[in-house]
């Protein structure tokens, strides 16, 4: 569900699977850890690579909200990248694309 690595000055968290009622808490914990790791490593931003996410429920959106609060508290911007068509539609309908910068790819998010 979660793998992460530093790329330049960014911390990239690769998310996979379904983020739904069964898995959202594990994602929320991974995201919280990712924020702490990114800050500890001196990264300037956290990029969530959503290319492996099959589905994002309202609980998944809640996990994103909680993660953003953690990141905001330490001054770490969070960007969403590479969402498939379904996840991009969920982000747009829920207006999360107004809360988070959304990029078409991780490479685009790394550019700025």
**Predicted local distance difference test score (pLDDT) of residue 9:** 96
Provide the pLDDT confidence category of residue 83 given band limits of 50, 70 and 90.
Answer: very high
Please give the domain boundaries of the chain with CATH numbers for all domains.
2-111 (3.30.750.24)
Structure token pair of residue 29: 């914990």
Question: Please, which pLDDT band fits residue 1 given cuts at 50, 70 and 90?
Answer: confident
Average pLDDT over residues 92-107: 98
What's the first-to-final CA gap in the chain, in angstroms? 25
Give this prediction's pTM. Answer: 0.96
Distance (Å, whole) CA 87 – CA 36: 25
Residues 71-100 have a mean pLDDT of 98
- The confidence band for 63, taking pLDDT boundaries of 50, 70 and 90, is very high
Residue 10: strand pairing partners? 7, 45
- DSSP reduced 3-state for 49: strand
Residue 22 has a pLDDT of 96
């Amino acid at each position: 569900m979660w793998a992460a690595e530093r790329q330049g000055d960014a911390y990239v968290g690769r998310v996979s699977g379904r983020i739904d009622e069964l898995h959202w808490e594990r994602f929320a914990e991974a995201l919280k850890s990712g924020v702490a790791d990114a800050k500890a490593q001196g990264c300037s931003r956290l990029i969530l690579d959503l290319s492996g996410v099959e589905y994002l429920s309202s609980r998944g959106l809640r996990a994103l909200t909680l993660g953003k609060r953690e990141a905001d508290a330490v001054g770490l911007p969070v960007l969403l990248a590479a969402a498939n068509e379904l996840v991009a539609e969920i982000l747009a309908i829920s207006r999360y694309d107004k809360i988070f910068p959304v990029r078409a790819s991780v490479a685009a998010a790394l550019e700025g």
